[in-house]
C-alpha cells in the first residue's frame, strides 16, 4: 500500500499478523550450525515442544530430518548442556559419528549414522557430570570434552577430559581420563588435523574469559595423554578464544592484545611431535606467532556459551570469517600467508557459527529482511537452507535499523539502533509521535544487532518505536569500550539508556509521555535503575532481572560467582557500591508502573530477586508480576512465551491508555 492509502490509527494500537502464535509455533531459534562433507547440521529450539533442542541434518539433496533417535530410557534427545549454566556446544560430528549431550540426564551419547540400528549409546555415567565443547578423535577412539563435575556441590570442578567412545565410562566413571584440572575453567579443545597436538584455553577467578585467558598446547601420546605442555600465550591484559587448526596444521586463535579481537597464526607444529623434540622440549622453540589481519574489527565475541565458531578453513590458503565493525557485520576470506582480507557481498550478516567444508560455507546469518537463518554460500551464491520463520514477513511490515551514536551526560559516546514503527497497513496520526521502548541487552557484555529480530518487530509492527542500546560495556566496539563498564556497572549503562531516550525526545522522534525501558537479567537491573534515576520513563519491564546484588552474590553459580565484583569494582560485598547499584535500594524512587516476568525455576537469577523488588514497589504504585512455575532464566515453552509477550503488550497499552485499533 502507498503512504496515502494506509489506515490511520494511534501509535501502539495497530493490529498485526505477527502474533505470539507466529513467534512460537511458526518460527524457530536456530543455533550450533556445523558442516560435515555434504551434510549440514544444526540445533533447532522448539518452544512448541517445551523448548526442546532438536538436532537436524540436511543432506545434499535437500532432505532435512531430526537425526537422533530416542534414548534407551525412551526419552526424546534434548541436545543441550548446562556447563557454566549458559551451555553452548552440545554436539559434534565427525564423518558419520555424532556425539551429543542430552539435557535430560547430562550424559554424552554417540550415534553412528552408518549403523543406525545400534541406536544411541551412552558414553558417560549417570552421575553429577556435565559435558560440552566436544572434539572427537576417531583414531584414538576418544572424545575430548569439557567436563563440569558437580559431585561436590560446594566445589564444582571444571576439567578437560578424554571420554572413550567404546562406552566403558558409562559403567565405570574412572575410565574418563582427566587431562587438565589445574585452572578454574577450561574450554575449546582443538585437535590438530594430524592428531598430534591439542590446543585449549583456560582462565581463573576473578577473571571472565573475555577479560583474561591463557592459550595452551600439548603434544599427544599415542594413547591421547599429554606428552608435554606449553602455555603459548598468557597475558593478564589479553583474552583468547577460538583456537582452531588450519588445514596445514598452523594454530589459529583470536586475541585482543591490540585492543580488538583479531586473528593470529602460530607456525611450527608440523612434524614437531617427535620423541626427541618432545623429550628435549625443542618443539616449543620453533613456534612463531604473528597477527593475520590487524584491524579495528572484532572477529569474536565474549564466550558466554561454549563453542564459538566465527571462522573456519576455506581451503589450504584461506580462512572464511565473520566480524563486526562500527556496529555492522560482515563476512569474507583472509589469506593465511599475508593476511589480505576480501569482503564478500552476500546480502547476509553472520549471526553465529561460520563453517566450511570443501569450499561450501554455511553460517547462521540475518539481514534487514530475514531473521537469523541458515545460509549456504556456494559458487558465490547465497541460498537459505533453513528459515527461522515459516513464511517471510512482508517487506512493508519490517522496520529497518537506523544506526545511532549519541553523547552521554559525561561527554562519552554511546551506540545503538533505532527502529521506527512500521506497517504495511497502518500509519500514525500526523501530529502524533510514537511511544518508545528502550531495550537493554543482557550480559552485560553482549550487544544488540541491526538485523531482523522477530521479537523486536512484534513491537514496531504495532506502532511502537524501539531503541536498542549498546551501552558502554557492549561487545563489538573494541576492548576499551567494553572494559569501560568495569567498576561502572549500574552507572554508565544506566546513563547511556537515559541519554539515548532523551536524544530521541529532543529530535522529536518519540512521544515524551510514553517512554518505556525493558531488559532481561543484567539488562533488567539497568532498566530498573534507569527508572529510578530518571522520570523520563513512564513504564518499566524487568524480565528475570537482578534487583539485589548482595543477595545474588550468595546464589551465583561458579561461572559468574566473582563476576559481579569485577563489574562493580568492589570485591567485598561490604563495599557500599553493592547496595548503591542494587535496584532494591532505590525502589522508593521508581514511580513508573512496573511489569515483571520471572521463572520460578531460574538458576541464574533466582525468583527471590523479583519477589523482593515487587514487594518494595507495591508501596509506590502499579506493579504486575507474571510468574511461571516450571520456567528458568529463559522462557522455553510456547505457552509461557505467548503469555509473557501478550501480557507485556497489554501492560503498555493500559499504562498509556492505548486501545487496539
- What does the pLDDT read at residue 656? 97
> HSE (CB half, 13 Å, CA atoms) of 151?
8
Q: Would you list the domain boundaries of the chain?
A: 36-309, 394-656
> HSE (CB half, 13 Å, CA atoms) of 142?
23
H-helix or E-strand spanning residue 318: strand 318-325
Q: Could you tell me where the beta strands, DSSP code E, fall in 420-528?
A: 426-427, 436-440, 465-470, 515-520
The CATH superfamily label for domain 394-656 reads Alpha/Beta hydrolase fold, catalytic domain (3.40.50.1820)
CA distance 283 to 288: 11
Q: Which of 577, 542, 549, 545 is nearest to 563 (CA)?
A: 549
- What does the pLDDT read at residue 1? 56
Do 36-309 and 394-656 agree at the fold level? no
CA distance 85 to 606: 13
CA distance 402 to 570: 37
- What does the pLDDT read at residue 358? 87
The CATH code for residues 36-309 is: 2.130.10.120
Beta bridge partners of 334: 319, 341
pLDDT < 50 stretches in the chain: none
- Please give the model's pTM, rounded to 2 decimal places: 0.94
SS (H, E, C) 619-643: CCCCEEEEEECCCCCCCCCHHHHHH
- DSSP code of residue 616: H
Q: Is the peptide bond before 444 cis (omega within 30 degrees of 0)?
A: yes
Q: At a CB cut-off of 8 Å and minimum separation 6, what does 430 contact?
A: none
Q: What is the pLDDT of residues 523-573, one digit of tens each?
A: 999 999 999 999 999 999 999 999 999 999 998 999 999 999 999 999 999
**Angle ∠(539,453,299) on CA atoms, nearest 5:** 115
Amino acid at each position: 500500500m502507498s503512504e496515502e492509502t494506509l489506515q490511520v490509527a494511534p501509535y501502539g494500537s495497530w493490529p498485526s499478523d505477527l502474533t505470539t502464535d507466529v513467534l512460537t509455533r511458526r518460527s524457530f531459534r536456530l543455533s550450533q550450525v556445523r558442516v560435515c562433507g555434504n551434510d549440514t547440521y544444526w540445533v533447532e529450539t522448539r518452544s512448541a515442544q517445551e523448548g526442546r533442542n532438536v538436532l537436524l541434518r540436511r543432506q545434499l539433496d535437500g532432505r532435512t530430518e531430526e537425526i537422533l533417535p530416542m534414548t534407551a530410557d525412551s526419552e526424546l534427545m534434548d541436545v543441550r548442556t548446562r556447563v557454566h549454566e549458559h551451555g553452548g556446544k552440545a554436539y559434534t560430528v565427525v564423518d558419520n559419528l555424532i556425539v551429543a549431550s542430552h539435557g535430560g540426564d547430562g550424559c554424552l551419547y554417540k550415534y553412528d549414522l552408518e549403523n543406525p540400528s545400534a541406536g544411541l549409546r551412552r558414553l558417560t555415567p549417570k552421575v553429577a557430570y556435565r559435558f560440552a565443547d566436544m572434539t572427537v578423535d576417531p583414531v584414538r577412539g576418544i572424545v575430548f570434552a569439557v567436563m563440569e563435575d558437580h559431585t561436590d556441590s560446594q566445589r564444582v570442578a571444571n576439567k578437560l577430559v578424554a571420554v572413550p567412545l567404546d562406552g566403558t565410562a558409562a559403567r565405570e566413571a574412572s575410565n574418563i581420563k582427566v587431562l587438565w584440572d589445574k585452572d578454574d575453567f577450561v574450554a575449546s579443545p582443538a585437535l590438530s588435523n594430524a592428531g598430534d597436538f591439542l590446543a585449549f584455553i583456560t582462565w581463573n577467578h576473578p577473571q571472565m574469559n573475555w577479560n583474561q585467558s591463557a592459550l595452551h598446547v600439548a603434544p599427544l601420546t599415542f594413547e591421547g595423554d599429554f606428552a608435554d605442555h606449553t602455555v603459548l600465550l598468557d597475558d593478564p591484559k589479553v583474552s583468547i578464544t577460538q583456537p582452531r587448526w588450519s588445514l596445514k596444521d598452523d594454530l589459529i586463535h583470536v586475541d585482543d592484545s591490540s585492543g580488538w579481537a583479531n586473528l593470529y597464526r602460530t607456525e611450527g607444529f608440523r612434524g614437531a611431535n617427535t620423541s626427541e623434540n618432545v623429550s628435549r622440549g625443542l618443539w616449543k622453540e620453533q613456534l612463531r606467532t604473528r597477527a593475520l589481519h590487524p584491524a579495528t574489527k572484532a572477529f569474536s565475541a565474549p564466550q558466554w556459551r561454549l563453542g564459538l565458531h566465527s571462522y573456519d578453513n576455506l581451503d589450504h590458503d584461506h580462512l572464511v570469517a565473520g566480524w563486526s565493525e562500527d556496529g555492522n557485520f560482515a563476512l569474507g576470506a583472509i589469506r593465511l600467508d599475508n593476511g589480505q582480507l576480501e569482503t564478500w557481498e552476500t546480502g547476509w550478516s553472520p549471526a553465529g557459527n561460520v563453517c566450511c567444508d570443501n569450499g561450501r560455507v554455511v553460517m547462521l546469518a540475518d539481514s534487514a529482511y530475514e531473521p537469523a537463518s541458515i545460509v549456504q554460500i556456494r559458487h558465490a551464491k547465497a541460498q537459505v537452507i533453513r528459515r527461522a520463520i515459516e513464511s517471510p514477513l512482508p517487506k512493508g511490515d519490517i522496520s529497518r535499523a537506523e544506526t545511532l551514536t549519541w553523547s552521554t551526560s559525561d561527554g562519552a559516546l554511546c551506540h545503538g539502533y533505532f527502529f521506527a514503527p512500521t506497517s504495511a497497513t497502518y500509519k500514525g496520526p500526523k501530529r502524533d509521535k510514537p511511544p518508545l521502548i528502550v531495550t537493554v541487552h543482557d550480559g552485560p557484555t553482549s550487544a544488540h544487532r541491526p538485523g531482523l529480530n522477530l521479537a523486536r518487530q512484534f513491537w514496531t509492527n504495532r506502532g511502537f518505536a524501539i531503541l536498542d542500546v549498546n551501552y558502554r560495556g557492549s561487545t563489538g566496539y573494541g576492548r576499551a569500550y567494553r572494559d569501560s563498564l568495569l567498576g561502572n556497572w549500574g552507572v554508565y549503562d544506566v546513563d547511556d539508556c537515559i541519554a539515548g531516550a532523551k536524544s530521541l525526545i529532543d529530535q522529536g522522534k518519540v512521544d515524551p509521555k510514553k517512554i518505556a525501558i525493558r531488559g532481561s537479567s543484567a539488562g533488567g537491573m539497568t532498566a530498573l535503575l534507569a527508572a529510578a534515576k530518571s522520570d523520563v520513563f513512564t513504564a518499566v519491564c524487568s524480565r528475570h532481572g537482578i534487583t539485589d546484588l548482595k543477595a545474588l552474590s550468595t546464589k551465583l553459580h561458579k561461572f559468574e560467582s566473582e563476576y559481579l565484583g569485577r563489574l562493580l569494582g568492589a570485591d567485598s560485598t561490604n563495599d557500599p557500591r553493592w547496595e548503591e547499584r542494587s535496584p532494591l535500594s532505590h525502589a522508593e524512587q521508581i514511580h513508573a508502573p512496573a511489569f515483571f516476568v520471572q521463572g520460578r525455576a531460574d538458576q541464574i537469577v533466582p525468583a527471590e530477586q523479583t519477589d523482593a523488588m515487587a514487594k518494595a514497589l507495591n508501596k509506590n504504585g502499579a506493579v504486575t508480576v507474571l510468574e511461571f512455575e516450571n520456567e528458568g532464566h529463559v522462557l522455553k515453552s510456547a505457552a509461557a512465551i505467548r503469555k509473557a509477550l501478550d501480557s507485556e503488550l497489554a501492560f503498555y497499552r493500559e499504562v498509556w491508555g492505548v486501545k487496539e485499533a
